[in-house]
Every structure is written in C-alpha cells, then in structure tokens.
Amino acid sequence: MRIILTLKSDLCAASGLGYATSIDTDIVYDTNTGLPYVPAKRLKGCLREAGLEILAARNNETDATTFYELFGVQGASDGGKLNISEGKLDYTVGKEKLISRSDVLNTLTTIRYGTRMEAANNDASALIKKAKDQSLRAARVINKGEALTFDIAPLEDTHFNFLQECCAILRHMGSNRTRGWGEVECILEGTPITDTCGQKNTHIYESPEDTKIASISYKIILNEPVISSLLSGGVGCEGHIPGSMLMGFFAKQWIKTYLNAENAAHQDPDFMRIFLKSEVKFGFAYPSFDEQPFYPTPASVKTDKKKEAFFDDANSGYKTSDTASARLGGYAKIEDCGGVKKVTALNIHFESVLHHARPHDRAIGSPQENNTAASGAFYSYIALAPRQQFFGSIVGKKNDLDKLVKLLPKEATITLGRSRTAQYGNASVEWITPITQANPAPTTIESNKIRVTARTPIILCDSYGTINPSAAVLAQKLSDILGIKLSVDRTFMSDTIVAGYNAAWRLPRQQMPAIAAGSVIVLNCCEAGAGQEVEPPHFIGLRTGEGFGQIFIDALPEMGVLCKTKTVDANVPSETEFSKNLLKKITDLKVQRMWEQESIGLAKKLIDQNGLPSNAQLGRLLNAIHGKYGAVSSKQELDEVLNKEWKDKKKLNCVQELCAKVYALKPEESEFYKDAEKDYFYCLKTVIRQLRLERRSSDE
C-alpha cells in the first residue's frame, strides 16, 4: 500500500537550513546521493488537515472516530494506525555505480528567486511598487512533474476509504503553497486488509528438547533516522538500540498473532514468562562494521594526550599512573592479532532534525513567536542517521525463540523508537544465524584473576533488597552463580541512571542507579587454582529481559600495551546504482546546457557578419518552430515548413543557413542521450533570442 504524490508545480519541502550564502531556504535531500525527498511528517500533517476539512463539512460521528483512529490523538501513547515512510523518488535500483550529488541536485531541482515589494517613495497608497532593499531570497525546489512514493502500513477498509478521501482533497503542500508552489496530486494505491482481530491462540507446546537455552542473532539496518532515547531519560540519543525496543515490537506482534483481542496479555502464561518475567533476554543491538559488532569500549582502555599510545590498565603488570591518560570511550573492537591487541574505534553518525507544528487555528498559516502547542511549537530531535548497521542477539528457551522467529520473516521491515508512525524508525531486520545452543564458551582462570566487562548497564540488588551498583555486590552475585569465592581486585567503573517510559501505563519508569556499560571489574579467585574453567552467565542483575546486565568474562590479559589500527564508520556502503531514467535526465541536461552555451557563442560570432536574417525573419522562424503549420519534431519537418513559409529564395537560403549552423553543433547520441532533435529546436530558439538581444544592445 502506498501514496503517489505527483508534483503539478515546483515543491519546496524546506529543511530549515540554508546552503552557504547561495541558498536561503534549502530542501530536504539525501546527503549521500543528492536525491530530494519529502519527510513523512509533512504529508501526514497535510493529510490530517484534509481530514479535519472532511469532519468540518460532514460533522459525522463515525468519521470523527475513524479520523482519530487513523491519525491518533495528541498526547496519546498510540500515534494512530497511519504509519507512513518518507516520500522518495524512484531513481535507485541497486549498488556500485555513482553519480555526483551535485549532478543529481542540478537535474531534479531548481533554484527560485523572489523579493519583497514595497511602495515607491514610502507612499503606501502609491500604485508603483519597487523591490525592497536586501530582500532578495533564494530557495531550492523540486521540479514539477516528479512523482514521490510514500509506503504506508496496511489499513483496514474503513480507514483506507477515509484516507483515500483525504488524499483526494489534498491539493497543496510545502512552502509558498499560496503563491503557486506546491500544487500536488495525491493518490492512494493498494487494497485494504480484512480485520485480523479475534484470531485463535496458536501456541506451540513445549517438548523436553525445546527447553534448552539457545540464542539467535539478528541484524538491523536503519532505513530512516531512529530516535533511540537516552536510557537515563535525558535529552539526546543513544548510539545503540536498547533491547526494550525489540522487546516491545515482539510483544505487540505476539498479542496480534497468538492472543484473542479480548484477552488481557498479562493473563497469558507464555506472554507473562517471555515478556514480563525476563525468561527471554532481548539483547542490545550495537553498531557494527564489516558484519562485526562494536561494543562499548572497556573503561580500562586508555590513551595518552596525543592519542598515539594505548594501554589497558586492567593488566596487573602495567600502570599508567605516571602518564597523563584518558579513557578512549565510544565503541570499539579489541582483537588479538598474533599476540598484539589491536583496537579499532567506530564512529556513530547522528543527525539533528527540526520540526514546527502547525498552529491549532488553521486560519494561521505559520507558527507564531510564542513557542506553545496552540501557536505552533518548535521541536528538535537528535536521531541515529540511516544506513547504519546494528547487531544483537536474543537468548532464551529454544521453544520460545521458535515462536518469536515465526512472528518475523527472515527479512522484514519494522519500526523502532519514538515518533515511528511518520519519518522515523523504519528499519530492516534480518535473522543472521539459526537458533543455536547458547552455552557460553568456558573461560580459563589464569593467575587466579578474571576480568568482567559490562556490555550493557548492570542493575544490581544487594541482600537487603536495595539497588546497589557496586563491584562488591557483583562479585557476590558471580560467586553464587559460579560456585567460586570472588573478591574485588581493582575496578574501572562509572555509574549511570536507568529510567525509561512505559507506554502501556503512560508513566515514567523507576529511576535506578546502574553500573555503566564499558565498566571493567578485575576479580580475585580466592579458592580457584590456575587453569580451572568456569562457565560464565550471559546476563546478571535486574531487567535482564530488556538486555540489561549483559557481561563478558575473560582471563586477565598479560599485555597492557595496545595498538590502535584505525577508526571506521558505522554506515552501510553508500554506493548506489541509479536507474537509467535518472542517468538519461542528467545526461540530457548536461548536453542541453553545453549545446546551449555553444549556441550562445555562435550567435555572438554571427552578429557582426552579413547575411543574417532580420528580426522580422527571425520572428517568422520562431512562429514556424512553435507550430504555425503543425507540430515540428525533426529537422526534415522544419525544412518542409521553411519552404512553405518563404517563397523568396534569398531569404529562405539565409534562414536555412542559420539553421544548418546550429544543427552542426549537435552532439553525438549515446545510450543515455537520444534527444538531439528535441534539443536542436531549443538551441535554435536560444540563438534567435541571443541575436535579438545582441542587436538590441548594439542599438542602445
């Protein structure tokens, strides 16, 4: 199901930014490919306004119910059933071939100029107007004739019909929509779905072999920006995807697929066990490069001021206390390469997006100065940029994982994070490994010491029931699990706050102190000898179902000196093969402009020569080109028209000679350029206009 938006006039979907000093109002476009697009919030807001027009005209209670189900209620936890993606031009087909961003923008967009008019001589009643000083503004627009496609989630019959009416009403959008820009035709394509409520419970009952602990790994590629709110509840965006996002998605799909609509989910024993009692662990999805996940850099990894030397202070034989150092931070991968520990750092890309809500009073066309919801509030979001990959895993009983896998095809599209019904959150998910046994590899204890690294925040509760994020509590918990008495040797820790928001309750979650991701705790094994093997747990502490408490236990490294190799980006390779339609457009425009410049140069050379047609003859030639004797589409047809128009052989030869000189500039046709005949007439008209201009200049 999709919406096709065809531009009947130029459209300015403003980004709120400019381009250096040449463009005051720029549009939204892909920074890698240069392809313009229309953010989903723009279209959804315009469709909502169209829906309000329907409600005002019909005043029907049924329409009002459908409207709020479709678009949601302001302040509600559910954003409505209309889930829409950004509008894209259909010009990409695959990978490998690149066109420069400037070529794409120059072909699909135009820069329009405008100025403010004021009364001459400061006389408001004067009929003569002039341009106001310093009011010239430039705006980039998407060329008319282009068509953008918005994918939308399937809708039931009632919502589909109402949205179809909203699309039929929508006629204008974007900036300057009352001044000729932004005229559009909006068409909803697709078939409504039947109501899926009331399905029978189709649980798969457990068998003994299905109760073993297993895991499955997944990969997420962001198709749109994703707002991954800070775990602490503050303003900002995390550099990873918390397990609670995946958990919420699967919980919603579980209710749709396995439960009857009238049943409360918490009364279902399987739902209670998997989603509420943390028997299935939805791990965090961390950024990746070259199909390898990058975890929070261990806090014990440090670097000097110049970032030339790298050390791991967790090693007992090396200290940096005599060297000015700082934590490396961020995300990194540490690997053993022939006895040398190498560190590869990862850059996470974020983007800042600005929004203005329309005022409640629809008679007001733009937001007012006071930043309130009623007058058009201003919003800014920081989000994970698209085209980044994230890897994670889900751990639980094999039977439970089987059920979860059936909720999602091998490759599927899901929505994550905030504001995911429009413009944000669209991502592709792919299972990258089958369900396998999840027993962690045994760790050999060397030198009676082990190292515990927190890959996600750890929420610990001591023996008194108090939340206590301390190394001593962690050592006691691990001692109970491993059956070995452990004590704290040294720590490289920091604390954080874990909060969140429960959408079902519409309440903030309890704030809990936790050991921050990347913290390192070195433990002494008081009763274990060298060479003993232990099987470490995957998770420890509270809220493990949401991915908290994931730890990695390994032997303490012997070397403290590390070698940094490089810094890489989390982006998916952005090579894009554009469709032949776009390649043809770009080639046509380049050749046409080149031919146009050569034609202008030809006109300037000919102006001083004798034997040129007079202005009257040039006017007759223009009329002939414009179809005085019918449509003219080839040079042969033009020659026939010229023979009809001129009976005087001398004048005819003069005109034909001018046409032949312009035709001689014709470039060679190729796979992507086959419009030489059409461009010939354009360049011929350019020569005529230039000759007239040169003559007028010489007369003055």
Parse the chain into domains and list their residue ranges: 2-189, 208-306+332-365+374-437, 443-566, 579-699
Contacts of 153 (CB under 8 A, 6+ apart): 1, 81, 82, 83, 84
Distances (CA, A) of 212 to 79, 263, 277, 478: 39, 29, 17, 22
Percent of the chain beyond pLDDT 90?
23
Q: What is the pTM of this model?
A: 0.77
Nearest to 81 by CA among 155, 192, 171: 155
Torsion of Cα atoms, 659 then 662 then 668 then 673, to 10°: -90
Mean pLDDT of the chain: 81
Helix, strand, coil in percent for the chain, rounding step 5: 30, 30, 45
At residue 337, the 3 state secondary structure works out as strand
Cβ proximity of 680 and 666 under 8 Å: yes
Q: Is 76 exposed, middle or buried (0-12, 13-18, 19+ CB in 10 A)?
A: exposed
Number of neighbouring beta carbons within 10 Å of residue 33: 22
3-state secondary structure of 43: helix
Give the orientation angle of helix 615-625 with respect to helix 635-645, to 10 degrees: 130
Residue 188: pLDDT band (50, 70, 90) is very high
Residue 697's pLDDT is 72
Q: Provide the β-strand partners of residue 84.
A: 152, 422
- 57: how many CB neighbours lie within 10 A of its CB? 10
Average pLDDT over residues 195-203: 42
Predicted pLDDT at 568 = 77
d(CA 108, CA 126): 41
SS3 557: coil
The length of the chain in residues reads 700
Position 195 pLDDT exceeds 80: no
CA–CA dist 432, 528 (Å, integer): 38
Tens digits of residue pLDDT in 325-379? 778 888 988 887 766 778 888 889 898 887 777 777 767 766 666 666 667 777 7
3-state secondary structure of 65: helix
Cβ contact 350:342 at 8 Å: no
Q: Which of 407, 398, 401, 396 is nearest to 254 (CA)?
A: 407
Rounded to whole angstroms, the Cα distance separating 92 from 86 reads: 15
Residue range 662-684: mean pLDDT, rounded: 75
Tell me whether strands 350-356 and 184-189 are parallel, antiparallel or unpaired: unpaired
Determine which of 350-359, 379-388, 570-579 has the lowest per-residue pLDDT on average.
Answer: 570-579
What are residue 143's DSSP bridge partners?
none
Share of the chain above pLDDT 70, in %: 83
Is pLDDT larger for residue 627 or for residue 320? 627
Residues whose CB falls within 8 Å of the CB of residue 516, separated by 6 or more in sequence, listed in order: 299, 454, 457, 493, 494, 495, 496
Please tell me the distance from the alpha carbon of residue 201 to that of residue 192, in angstroms, as a whole number. Answer: 24
Average pLDDT over residues 153-171: 91
Whether the CB-CB separation of 565 and 344 falls below 8 Å is answered with: yes
DSSP track, 373-410? TTT--EEEEEEEPSSBEEEEEEEEEHHHHHHHHHTS-S
> What is the rounded distance in angstroms from the CA atom of residue 485 to the CA atom of residue 450?
12
CA distance 236 to 242: 14
pLDDT recorded at residue 570: 74
202: pLDDT confidence band, cut at 50, 70 and 90?
very low
Instruction: For residue 319, give both structure tokens.
Output: 């200290």
Model pLDDT, residue 204: 38
More confident residue, 627 or 405: 405
d(C-alpha 470, C-alpha 567), whole Å: 33
Alpha carbons 582 and 92: distance in angstroms, whole number: 9
End-to-end CA distance of the chain: 62
Domains 208-306+332-365+374-437 and 443-566 share a fold: no
Name the class of domain 208-306+332-365+374-437.
Answer: alpha beta
Name the pairing type of β-strands 340-347 and 561-569: parallel
Report the candidate in 621, 595, 563, 559 with the shortest Cα–Cα distance to residue 679: 595
Q: Which residues pair with 452 in a beta bridge?
A: 521, 553
Q: Which of 10-24, 391-405, 474-488, 525-539 has the lowest mean pLDDT?
A: 525-539
Give the mean pLDDT of 53-80. 84
Residue 468 tokens read as 């206590």
**pLDDT at position 203:** 38
Out of 3.40.630.30, 2.60.40.4350, 3.40.50.1450, 3.40.140.10, the CATH code matching 443-566 is 2.60.40.4350
The single-letter DSSP state of residue 229 is B
For residue 206, name the pLDDT band (cuts at 50, 70, 90). Answer: very low
> pLDDT tens digit string along 596-614?
888 888 888 877 777 778 8
Strand-strand pairing, 184-189 and 2-7: antiparallel
- Does 527 have pLDDT greater than 80? no
The answer to whether 694 touches 607, Cβ cutoff 8 Å, is yes
Q: Is 288 exposed, middle or buried (0-12, 13-18, 19+ CB in 10 A)?
A: buried
Summarised one tens digit per residue, pLDDT across range 438-458 is: 665 666 666 678 889 999 999
Cβ of 394: how many Cβ atoms within 10 Å? 25
